[in-house]
Every structure is written in structure tokens, then in C-alpha cells.
Amino acid sequence: MWRRPFFWIVAAVIAVFVFAPLIGDNVSLREGLVLAAIYIILASNLNLMLGYAGYINFGSIVFFGLGGYICVWLINSYNWPLAPSLLAAGIGVSVLSFIFGLGILRLRGPFFALSTIGIVEGVQAFVQNFEPWGGSAGIYISPMVFQPLGGPGRALWVIYFLLVAVMGASLYLSYAIKTSKFGLGLLAIGQNEDAAAILGVPTPRYKALVYSVSAFLPAIAGGLYFFKSAFIQPSDAFDLSLSTEALVVAMLGGQGTVTGVAVGAYLYEELRGYLLTSASFSNFQLVIAGALLLVIVLFFPSGLMGFIYSRYPSTKKVLE
Amino acid sequence: MTANATPILQLDHVGKRFGGLQAVHDLSFVMREGEILGLIGPNGAGKSTLFNLINGVFAPNTGRIVFAGIDITGQAPYLVARHGLARTHQIVQPLTNMTVLENCTVGACFGRENLPLGRAREVAREAAIGVGLEDRLEMLALHLTIAGKKRLELARALAAQPKLLLLDEVLAGLNPTEVEYMIAVIRRIRDRGVSILIIEHLMQAIMSLSHRIVVLNYGEKLAEGSPDEVARNPQVVEAYLGDPKLAAELQAGDATPASQGEASQGSASNV
């Protein structure tokens, strides 16, 4: 893997994420990169479903939100340290997704897409009424939990570096799957599921597996994000618009590509940051996202990378 | 092929009903290892449905299907493929945005041998070269001509290294030169010991390729025997009377290139 240029491109991106905010202790840059990292994590993992297996998942935010809840709850109610809480969040959400996946992945096309929205609404309704998780009020954690990490100031840096690690893991995971036999089977499913099954691809198992794998790292990212906020409530954790944004990002960069999705996520985050801070455009990014999605679907279905590939075919060998 | 060879495929009173339509009714036959068995019959006779029953796209309502000693009745297509049964489609089903080589690699990876990716690529390359696609390995399947897509169907099935190959009208829609090429390919596959069950409307081709022929009509077996026996069977000729040209071809047992062209046009319109 380390002989491929892709490996070094990702390594360079991670290095930039790590060192850029360290220079001059630039906290505001760091906070911007936190969001960029989260978009990259959500979009890359969504891409496993969307770009590889060809299944549109509107509910990827459930992984993020549930991961956040499990992590925050374990830390708050059982005084678990951060690391095992994150791991428990990842594994717990993956196992749940595998079970959900076996059920809903019998559906295809628009029916599957609708069922994923149903899962977001269902999980949100459940959590709102689940007392151990604070119902609709959510869970607050005391700032004391940051003490083991060296106080709130240092804890924010630790959380940031962990998020960057999860981002790097997401990109390498996308690449590893794409170049594996599992990935080949997924791509075949994405192209023509019936033909894939006839060629011997174990379609139900592969689909449930990729759904579950695509839940793991977003769940950990959710754990980190809500631990950082020290607060979680259902409307933040299961915000359907973030799911939709992740879809836009994946399609903007080029579904099925690893680099494209990461670049798309970064560009989108920059745009969103700009629109959010300019006074006249509060929440206007959702309008832009919607318009962007329309333009992409109508005119650039293969996204940014599709455009680059067709312009410069040699880049196909370098950028995955 | 010897008379006491082990059966590769055995159908035992297989039936399938779609609503009010009995697509396949009480059908039994045995196929021996290394055999080419032709499956003919008028349009709507249930030939393609039979393929879908054998490779698990549909589960039969009645009967049993045994493949190489394994009862595969109602098993999912991907399980049937693992046992060593591959097929091509009448209406080609390429994985359009993948290259020819990738298409074949899927077949090799998930076929009988369950090969790892690297080894699968080699097998896939050989399979693609075997059907004459060596100059189009890196081409996206969607850019292939119809003849190219038909070859890809065959290459992909072969890459799975099957024991039994189901060919569903691989000659339909091809011009006479391409038909000749494909027939030679099919002969080469047979020489490697792969059993072949073939559906074809091109009479001259199927009569010369097959060891034995099963004739289907309205989902039932009308006749079974050597190509000569079947061609002389009055019931078979009668079933084809709606299509006098085919009946004449059946009886003549050979065909001129002109009638071959017409027959392939005729079958192309069935697609």
C-alpha cells in the first residue's frame, strides 16, 4: 500500500491537519478543521454505501448520533474513560447496523432510501423517550471528565488529533475496501445487483456488512464530537440535514472515489463556513446544498473526480 | 462422453407457476458430465424460465434440481454459482461502468474456486483472451458492441471455471461471421470438459453443437433425443409449424448461410 502515491497523499493531508493549527496555537483554524474532518469522515463512510454498493443512505447521521449517545452515556453514567467508550460506541453501532441492514437492505432504490429516513426518525423518537439518555433534554457531562486528558484546553487538542486519526482511518479504509475482493463485489452490486448475485457475489451478506462497516468510524467520530461539546440532545444528534449534506459532499467530490469525496467535503465545509459567518446568510448553506445537489445530479453525475478523470485520464492511476 | 458418466444436472418433476401461467410443468431430464444439451422450443415455451429455476433466480413450486450431487432446489443464485454453475443472459447484463477485465474478475473471484483477487485477475485475463477480447481488456463494458457484450457474458461465465455452463441465446443478434466465431469458442469450452446446457434459436448451430436435445413446448417436455431423432419427431415439427422456415430447417438438418442469416434475424427479434 505504501508504494502507491495515494498512501502518501493521504499521509500529507493528515500531516497538514495535524501541524497547521499547531503553528501559533491557532484555535480558530483548528475548530474549522474539526468540522472539515467530520464532513470527510461522514462522506467517506457514506461513500462506501453510495459510491461502491450504489445504495443511497439518507440516514448516515444515525451512526454519528448513536455513537455520540453511547460514548457520552458511558462516560457520564459509568465513568468510563474516553478510549473504551469510543470503542464501545463504534462496535455497538456497527452491530446494531448489521442487524438493521439485514432487514432493510432487502429493499432497493427509492424504497431503501426512504427506509433510511425512517430509521433516523425512529431512532430519534426512541431516544427522545428513553429516560436513561435524558429523553428530549439530552445528557450534559461535567467538565471534570476532561481532567484525565489534562484539563479542557489540552483535552480539545487531544480530541482534535483523535478526530484527525479517525479521518485518516476513514480514507485508508475506503481505499483498502476499494482495492479488495470485498470492494469488487460491492462495485458489482452497485452496477447490477442481479448480475452480481448470478456471478456469485453473496449480495445480502456483503450489503449488510458494508452498511455495518460504514457505521463504525462515524460512530466514533460522533463520540468524539459530542464528548467535545460535553452535551448531546436528540435534535443535534439526529439532524437529518447533516445526512443530506454528507450526500451532497460525496456526490460533489465524485461518488466511488476516495480523494474526490475528501476534497468535496473540504470545499463544502469552507463554503459552509463562509456562508455561516456572513451575517445575511444564516443557514443559507442548506439552500446552496440543495441547489448544488440538483446541478450535480443533472450535469455532473460523476462529480469533481469524474470531471478530472475525463480531462486527465492519467490521474486515474494516482488518485483513487 | 460415455453412457455411464455421472449426471451433472438432474431435474426431477420441476414445475413453476406465475399466477395463472404454468411456465414450466412437471419437467424431468438428466444431463451427463461433459455433455452439450440443447434446449429448444417456440417462444414462451419456458426455456429462459427453466434457466432461472436452475440457477436460483426463481425457486420452483414443485420438484427437485440436483447439481453435481448437491440439491440446489431454491438456493440463492450466489450459492449456486459457488457450486460451479455459471450462466449467460439472453439480454446481456454487463457491469457497465467496469472494465472488461474487472467484469471477468468478478466472475473469477466469486465463482467455483473462490479465488483471491490477484489470482482471479489472471484467470479473468485468460478467459477474456479465450473469447477474443484481448484488445479490449481495459475498455468499459458499456462501450462494447452487442457482439462484444455477448462475448463478455461468455468470458465472465468462463472465468468462474464452472462445471456446468448455461448459455442463453449467445448467438442471437450476431452476424454470420460472429456466429461462426462463437460456435468455435463453444466447441473449445466443451473440449475442456465443461458441460453445457444451451438455449438457441439458430437451428443449424444447435443441431451441430448438441449431443442431445430437449424440446420444450408450453412448459412441458415435448421430445428428447439426439439431434436427428428430434428433427424427425413429427410432434416437434408440428410445434414449429407456426414457423415453417424453422420446421424446414429442422428437417433438412443443415442450412445455407442465407437461411442462417434469416434465422439469426428472426431470433434477434425475439430478444
Task: With beta carbons under 8 A apart, name residues in chain B contacting A181.
Answer: 109, 116-117, 120
A200:B82 CB<8 A: yes
Mean pLDDT computed over A3-32: 90
pLDDT value at position B258? Answer: 41
Residue B255 domain-assigned (yes or no): yes
CA distance A4 to A317: 9
Domain endpoint, select from B118, B138, B162: B162
Q: At what angle do helices A285-299 and A258-277 cross, to 10 degrees?
A: 150
Interface touch B94/A184, C-beta < 8 Å: no
Could you give the number of structural domains in chain B? 2
Cα separation of B228 and A77, whole Å? Answer: 83
- Do both B101 and B222 map to the same domain? no
The answer to whether residues B123 and B248 belong to one domain is: no
CB contact under 8 A, A195 and B87: no
Does B97 fall in a domain?
yes
Report DSSP state, residue B163.
S
| Nearest alpha-carbon partner for B63 in B225, A128, B71, B190 | B71
Residue A245 and residue A264: Cα distance in Å, rounded? Answer: 11
Assigned domain for B2 exists: no
Residue of A nearest to B115 (CA): A181
Backbone φ and ψ of B215, nearest 5°:
-105, 125
Are residues B69 and B190 both part of a single domain?
A: yes
Where is the domain boundary, B162, B184, B207?
A: B162
Cα-to-chain-centroid distance, residue A223: 12
Q: Is residue B235 part of a domain?
A: yes
Subunit contact A200:B160, Cβ cutoff 8 A:
yes
User: How far is the C-alpha of A235 from the C-alpha of A233, rounded, in Å?
Assistant: 6
Check whether residue B182 and residue B136 sit in a common domain.
no
Look up the pTM and report it.
0.89
Among A28, A27, A30, residue whose Cα is nearest residue A18: A30
| A185 in contact with B, Cβ within 8 Å | yes
- Strand pairing class (B195-199; B164-168): parallel
Distance of CA A123 to the CA centre of its chain: 18
Q: Is residue B1 part of a domain?
A: no
Q: Is-contact A255 A50, C-beta < 8 A?
A: yes
User: Which residues is B38 bridged to in the sheet?
Assistant: B198, B213
* A314 vs A274: CA distance, rounded Å: 34
Average predicted confidence (pLDDT) for chain A = 91
- The 10s digit of each residue's pLDDT in A65-97 is 999 999 999 999 999 999 999 999 999 999 999
- The three cell numbers of residue B15 are 414445475
* Type and span of the H or E element at B212: strand B212-217
How far is C-alpha B226 from the chain's CA centre? 18
SS3 content of chain A, % helix, strand, coil (to 5): 80, 0, 20
Classify strands B212-217 and B220-225 as parallel, antiparallel or unpaired.
Answer: antiparallel
Diameter of chain A measured on Cα atoms: 58
Whether residues B204 and B191 fall in one domain: yes
Q: Which residues, other chains included, contact B150 with Cβ-Cβ below 8 Å and sequence gap of 6+?
A: B88, B92, B170, B173, B174, B178, B182
Question: Does residue A224 register a pLDDT over 80?
Answer: yes
Q: Is A247 left (phi over 0), alpha (psi -120 to 50) or beta?
A: alpha
Query: How many Cα atoms sit within 13 Å of A109 on the Cβ side?
Result: 2
Q: Which residue of B has its CA nearest to A200?
A: B78
Same domain, B149 and B170: no
In B108-127, the residues whose Cβ lies within 8 Å of chain A are 109-111, 116-117, 120
pLDDT in tens, A247-304: 989 998 888 899 899 999 998 888 888 877 776 766 677 788 788 888 888 888 888 8
Cell numbers linked to A38 = 467530520
CA separation, residue A16 to residues A29, A37, A122, B102 (Å): 12, 12, 39, 35
State what percent of residues in chain A have pLDDT above 90: 65
Question: What's the confidence (pLDDT) of residue B239?
Answer: 79
CB B154, CB B131: distance < 8 Å = yes
ipTM (interface pTM) = 0.86
Residues B71 and B172 in one domain: yes
> B90 at the A interface (CB within 8 A)?
no
How confident is the model over A147-160, as pLDDT tens digits?
Answer: 888 888 899 999 99
Contacts of A201 in chain B (CB under 8 A): 78, 106, 110
Q: Are B67 and B108 contained in the same domain?
A: no
Q: Residue B96 and residue A192: Cβ atoms within 8 Å?
A: yes
Q: Cα-flanking dihedrals φ and ψ of residue B129, to 5°? A: -65, -35
Report the b/e string of B151-181 with b at 16+ CB within 10 A.
bbbbbbbbbbbbbbbbbbbbbbbbeeebbeb
A103-146 pLDDT, tens per residue? 898 898 889 999 999 999 999 999 999 999 999 999 999 888 89
Range of the domain at B23: 7-84+164-268
Surface-to-core class of residue B8, CB atoms within 10 Å of its CB (0-12 exposed, 13-18 middle, 19+ buried): buried
- The answer to whether the Cβ–Cβ distance between B95 and A195 falls below 8 Å is yes
**Which of B162, B183, B204 delimits the end of a domain?**
B162
Q: Select from B93, B105, B110 the residue whose CB has the most chain A CBs within 10 Å, as the one to mutate to test that interface.
A: B110
Return the residue of A nearest to B162 by Cα.
A199
Q: Quick check: B1 and B28 in contact, CB under 8 A?
A: no
Distance CA A244, CA A59 (A): 8
- CATH, residue B242: 3.40.50.300
Contact A184 B96 (CB under 8 A): no
The pLDDT of residue B5: 61
Residue B18 is classified by DSSP as: E
Identify the pLDDT of residue A276: 76
| Yes or no, beta carbons of B57 and A198 under 8 Å apart | yes
Q: Do B62 and B154 reside in the same domain of the chain?
A: no
CATH code linked to domain A5-317: 1.10.3470
Distance CA A82, CA A71 (A): 8
Longest CA span, chain B: 54
d(CA A316, CA B10): 48
Going from N- to C-terminal start, the domains of chain A cover 5-317
For residues B150 and B171, state if they share a domain.
Answer: no
Of the listed ranges A1-15, A228-242, B65-79, the one predicted with least confidence: A1-15
**B156 and B180 in one domain?**
no
Residue B251 has what pLDDT?
Answer: 65
**Per the structure block, which three cell numbers stand in for B111?**
465463482
- The dihedrals phi and psi of A302, each to the nearest 5 degrees, come to -100, 10
Q: What is the pLDDT of residue A160?
A: 96
Question: CA A265 to CA A36: how far, in whole Å?
Answer: 7
CA distance A256 to A183: 11
Which helix (H) or strand (E) segment is A194 a member of? helix A193-198
pLDDT in tens, chain B (271 residues): 445 567 999 999 999 999 989 999 999 999 999 999 999 988 888 999 999 999 999 999 999 999 999 999 999 999 999 999 999 999 999 999 999 999 999 999 999 988 999 999 999 999 999 999 999 999 999 999 999 999 999 999 999 999 999 999 999 889 999 999 999 999 999 999 999 999 998 888 999 999 999 999 999 999 999 999 988 888 888 777 666 667 677 666 554 444 444 444 444 333 3
Residues B123 and B16 in one domain: no
